[in-house]
Amino acid sequence: MKIVVCIKQVPDTTNVRINPETNTLIREGVESIINPFDMYALEEAIRLKEKHGGEVIVMSMGPPQVESSLKDAIALGADQAILLTDRAFAGADTLATSYTLAAGINALNDADLVIMGKQAIDGDTGQVGPGVAENLGVPHITDIRKIEEVTDNYMVCERLLEEGYVRLKVKFPAVITVVKEINEPRLPSLKGKMKAKSATILQWTTKDLDIDVDRLGLTGSPTQVVRIFTPPKPEGGKVYKGETRDMVSELLSDLQANGVAIKKSKGN
């Protein structure tokens, strides 16, 4: 079973900077981490490999500094890591990112399963997983909380809903995104750290992929950030003090003065 895990290196949430000219995140020189939701995807892939055999390949798109996160993934149990890195990829929105990752997965040939975290903490769109599946032309299921059964041809999963879950069956090849309820990520072992230290991270550029350069980066991104600003803090407000009955009466009077219709119940 060949499993591909797509991870994203995101800025530490305590140290986010924005390029004022391009309105994109400044990643160079910024302390970064593996997107937390992707850690659950990696853990699930490793568990599937341990139970059913095969290999786990970790893939990411970004600048050369992302190699550190890919080595962290190898330390946790991934077999191979690939970095899609090229200036042409810079500034990509979710559409261009999905297209680029799908091209990288296609270059691997015959991946059975692609696993991702449900979303990235720096964008929170949850669009890349389904986007990759559409570009690959394979089925996908989002928000998986449990994998119940795996065969050579299909898997049965539980998809998390707002009020419960639904059991779904999907044929391979497929793409799934997972939620944090699916597992508890492991810590790297000493053996894993030693393996990661000497690991070679493959770097693929546009020359290594069957790809349309017009669909990459800012050029291939139909959505772009026009302006970034800090929302103003709410101002005003009124604190009511005194007896409860008096405060309620004053509040109702203020609401009526501002055009809010107050419907009195019977007995009041």
- What pLDDT sits at residue 263? 72
- For the chain, the domains span 2-215
* Per-residue pLDDT tens listing for the chain (268 residues): 999 999 999 877 655 666 666 666 666 666 788 999 999 999 999 999 999 999 999 999 999 999 999 999 999 999 999 999 999 999 899 999 999 999 999 999 899 999 999 998 887 788 999 999 999 999 999 999 999 999 999 999 999 999 999 999 999 999 999 999 999 999 999 999 999 999 999 999 999 999 999 999 989 999 877 776 667 777 778 889 999 999 999 999 888 888 887 776 665 5
Q: Is the pTM of this model over 0.85?
A: no
2-215 classified as CATH 3.40.228.10? no
C-alpha–C-alpha distance, residues 158 and 146, integer Å: 5
154 forms bridges with which residues in the sheet?
171
Strands 9-11 and 32-34, by their bridges, are antiparallel
Tens digits of per-residue pLDDT, 105-163?
Answer: 999 989 999 999 999 888 778 899 999 999 999 999 999 999 999 999 999 999 999 99
Helix segments in 116-165, DSSP class H? 128-136
C-alpha–C-alpha distance, residues 68 and 75, integer Å: 11
Question: Tokens for 90?
Answer: 């810079």
